[in-house]
A and B are shown apart, each in its own frame.
Chain A
């Protein structure tokens, strides 16, 4: 199912992606491919340009240079909602939900607007949309909090709510920006189970993560960024053997012994 063949056409193909803010290149010529069905991990020190890369791919900010292709079509100049309609969805590093709306209504936004539909059809309580929203809430384990307001929910619930909303848009590809950040060890375990279930649904995942345990366990391939550039790209097992990655990002050998991946 998650058999990855590097000879097939990638679902997402990025070549020479650059994002410059004035004189600062936050992303400085990054190339990578993500194949259908795989989980692609991105890590690197703070300020390496990981979130900026997400922003560029999802259209939140436009690339200064480079080509991004999704399913063979260039998307670097597409609008945010168009990119969503094509099948890319994402969550944010900081929990970001619609505060005054219930959890169900939050997911409903994704269900209602995630697919390109005629703007004049369907009300808020469209039965199919409502069903899909409820299914995704159950999927992430928030069924009991369907009528709780989004704003006061705890961090873990907000993170799962973001995932449910993103899934409700029926994406082919899900971008997760530090989904494990700020979670307790038991919540990390739970979320890892949830994300493998997302993977089983055939959704391609790209995730930024500092929690190496989770990153190594979930990722089929890993991209390590530093100062906007690619430092390393390869299998999770090779990451730990790469001298440069260890020096720049992971720290001295031994520092991380107890956090070593179980992969």
Chain B
């Protein structure tokens, strides 16, 4: 009973964070057809940005979330200008594949710059709210975990409202579903691309701050999130927002269950087996759609 409860709590927390990281990859893939390999370092940079402002200025970690979001938004925009924009509309370039590699290059460069500045040591980051409560005598939940889930879900709801209610959101959806028609109706597609990459990075940056107290802040902190996000978006079917949310919680549940009932060492291998089976049965993922129905 306790183990089941523990799994449930862990699923909600992990799934929400996974969704926050993966949804950015989905947005970028949906609008630009780029599998953004720089999404992982945005998680890591978010953690470092928060660590730095808290360490240097002593502000509340809550404020550092906003700083991390701003820093990673700018880094996302920079990634667009460095790795994506130069490739757009170039005849004879396999855009999807090339951008996959250039975003990976940006990720590696950023990671090494951070390593040069901060060194390889893990930096501690305090929970946003220390302490926790015991649900039963054996199952406890930290306040920080609760905050993680609440903030992640809050950010996703805000994103959903942004996409369905705002002018920018309408432009992003239009570009994702029908690029030519969207441009012909006066939407500057490249501006949509910049904003989308910025938002995607900022969401990962927020996730980075939330994860920092659990996994510390260090230059490789984005590796596992990237790997997990890749599994989620491929499992979901690239470019599907709803699919990404479902997939995040399914993957969150699987890795929690394997870790709790078996061993955390097997969580990732089991995920790979699951993704292999899913892709063999459904090559487009659980909610994969043809191009015209994306986002």
Contact = CB atoms under 8 A, between A and B. Distances in A.
Interface of A: 58-60, 79-81, 84-85, 89-90, 92, 96-101, 105, 108-110, 112-116, 119, 122-126, 151, 162, 165-166, 168-169
B184 A89 contact: yes
B170 interface: yes
Contacts of B188: 79, 81
Contacts of A119: 191
Nearest to B185: A110
Contact of A123 (B167, B171, B184): B167
B121 interface: no
A84 B181 contact: no
Contact of B165 (A80, A116, A125): A125
Contacts of B293: 99-100, 151
Majority DSSP secondary structure for residues of B touching A = helix
Nearest 7 CB-CB pairings of A with B: A80-B183, A113-B186, A84-B186, A110-B185, A114-B186, A81-B188, A113-B187
B173 interface: yes
B169 A109 contact: no
A93 to B, nearest CB: 12
B42 to A, nearest CB: 24
B153 interface: no
Interface string B140-184: 000000000000000000000000111101110110011011111
B88 to A, nearest CB: 12
Contacts, number: 92
B54 to A, nearest CB: 31
B186 A123 contact: no
B295 interface: yes
Contact of A113 (B165, B180, B185, B292): B185
A92 B183 CA distance: 13
B164 to A, nearest CB: 8
A202 to B, nearest CB: 20
B12 interface: no
A124 B185 contact: no
B181 A98 contact: yes
Majority DSSP secondary structure for residues of A touching B = loop
B187 to A, nearest CB: 5
A105 B165 CA distance: 11
Contacts of A166: 184-185
Contacts of B182: 98, 109
A90 B183 CA distance: 11
Given A98-B174, A100-B173, A151-B293, A84 B167 contact: no
A79 B295 CA distance: 25
Contacts of A80: 180, 183-184, 189
A151 B188 CA distance: 23
A48 B186 CA distance: 28
B173 A122 contact: no
Contact of A98 (B164, B177, B184, B189): B177
Contacts of A99: 177-178, 292-293
B165 A124 contact: yes
Contacts of A124: 164-167, 169-170
Contacts of B183: 59-60, 79-81, 84
A99 B189 CA distance: 18
B162 to A, nearest CB: 10
B181 A96 contact: yes
Given A96-B178, A100-B295, A119-B191, A60 B184 contact: yes
B180 to A, nearest CB: 6
24 contacts: A58-B184, A60-B184, A80-B180, A80-B184, A81-B183, A81-B187, A84-B185, A92-B180, A96-B178, A98-B174, A98-B177, A98-B181, A99-B292, A100-B295, A101-B173, A101-B177, A109-B170, A109-B187, A110-B186, A123-B166, A124-B165, A126-B167, A165-B185, A166-B184
B184 A84 contact: yes
A85 B178 contact: no
B191 A115 contact: no
Nearest to B183: A80
Given A60-B184, A81-B188, A100-B293, 6 more contacts: A92-B180, A96-B180, A98-B173, A116-B186, A124-B169, A166-B184
